[in-house]
């Protein structure tokens, strides 16, 4: 995945709570077997049904930071939701609460999910509503979101931060510890279920 250090861009305020991953990308787009090219599915129902939806508004075209309501990315485990956001030009999603699986998926593909207190999220939403061209900087190195003289710190696990800064994928990291895996496997009870052979 691409490394993430710092990103500056414009932001789109998504004033909705509990935006589930079905809304981020509906199931019909999940039939594809590729890992890219999901931008047409991003929020497709909301874009179609609501002319005033934030991503339909010309002043937010080109936004790369999504400032979302609470409980963003709940529901389905579809990593396509992360891919669609990346394909749609987003590098960062900010919210006061994320669905666990979505947040975990985001760390595997280089989409930065930033947790801020709800009042800070709303302050940022108001700022970008007042000035859609406002540049917002998200600095993973310094763990801070900055805009128009305001700097808000955020927390992220050291390990996840390191992986994102380096752009490392987990499989390669785990393969360094295969001897631990082998040792664990040697002690597994023999009665544990096996899928093969077919009885």
Among 119, 133, 149, 194, contact with other proteins (rule: CB under 8 A): 194
Query: Does residue 79 bind other proteins (CB under 8 A)?
Result: yes
Dihedral over alpha carbons 146, 151, 156, 160 (to 10 degrees):
40
The label of the residue with tokens 């874009």 reads 47
Burial class (CB in 10 A: 0-12, 13-18, 19+), 90: buried
Select from 55, 101, 115, 156 the one that contacts other proteins (CB under 8 A): 101
Q: CA of 125: how far to CAs of 3, 43, 56, 134, 196, in Å?
A: 26, 19, 17, 11, 53
71 lies in the binding site for other proteins (CB under 8 A): yes
Between 149 and 197, whose beta carbon lies closer to other proteins? Answer: 197
Residue 31 to residue 26: CA distance in whole angstroms: 10
How far from 83 is each of 18, 70, 92, 150, CA to CA, in Å? 19, 20, 12, 30
What token pair was written down for 173? 């990291």
Q: Is 189 in the site for other proteins (CB under 8 A)?
A: yes
Min CB(33)–other proteins separation in Å = 4
Q: Which of 11, 67, 82, 85 binds other proteins (CB under 8 A)?
A: 82
Least separation in angstroms between residue 187's CB and other proteins is 10
Residues that bind other proteins (CB under 8 A): 15-18, 20, 22-23, 26-28, 30-35, 45, 49, 69-71, 74-80, 82, 97-101, 104-105, 108-109, 157-159, 169-171, 173-175, 177-178, 180-181, 184-185, 188-196, 198-199
């Amino acid at each position: 995945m691409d490394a993430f250090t710092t990103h500056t861009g414009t932001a789109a305020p998504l004033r909705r709570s509990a935006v589930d991953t079905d809304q981020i990308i509906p199931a019909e787009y999940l039939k594809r077997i590729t890992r890219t090219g999901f931008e047409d599915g991003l929020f497709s129902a909301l874009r179609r049904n609501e002319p005033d939806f934030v991503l339909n508004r010309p002043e937010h075209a080109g936004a790369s930071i999504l400032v979302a309501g609470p409980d963003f990315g709940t529901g389905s485990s579809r990593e396509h939701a992360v891919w669609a956001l990346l394909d749609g030009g987003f590098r960062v999603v900010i919210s006061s609460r994320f669905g666990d699986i979505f947040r975990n998926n985001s760390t595997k593909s280089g989409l930065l999910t930033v947790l801020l207190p709800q009042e800070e999220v709303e302050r940022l939403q108001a700022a970008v509503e007042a000035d859609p061209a406002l540049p917002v900087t998200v600095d993973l190195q310094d763990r801070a979101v900055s805009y128009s003289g305001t700097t808000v710190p955020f927390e992220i696990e050291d390990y996840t931060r390191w992986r994102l800064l380096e752009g490392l994928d987990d499989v390669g990291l785990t393969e360094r510890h295969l001897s631990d895996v082998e040792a664990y496997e040697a002690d597994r009870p023999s009665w544990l279920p096996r899928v093969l052979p077919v009885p």
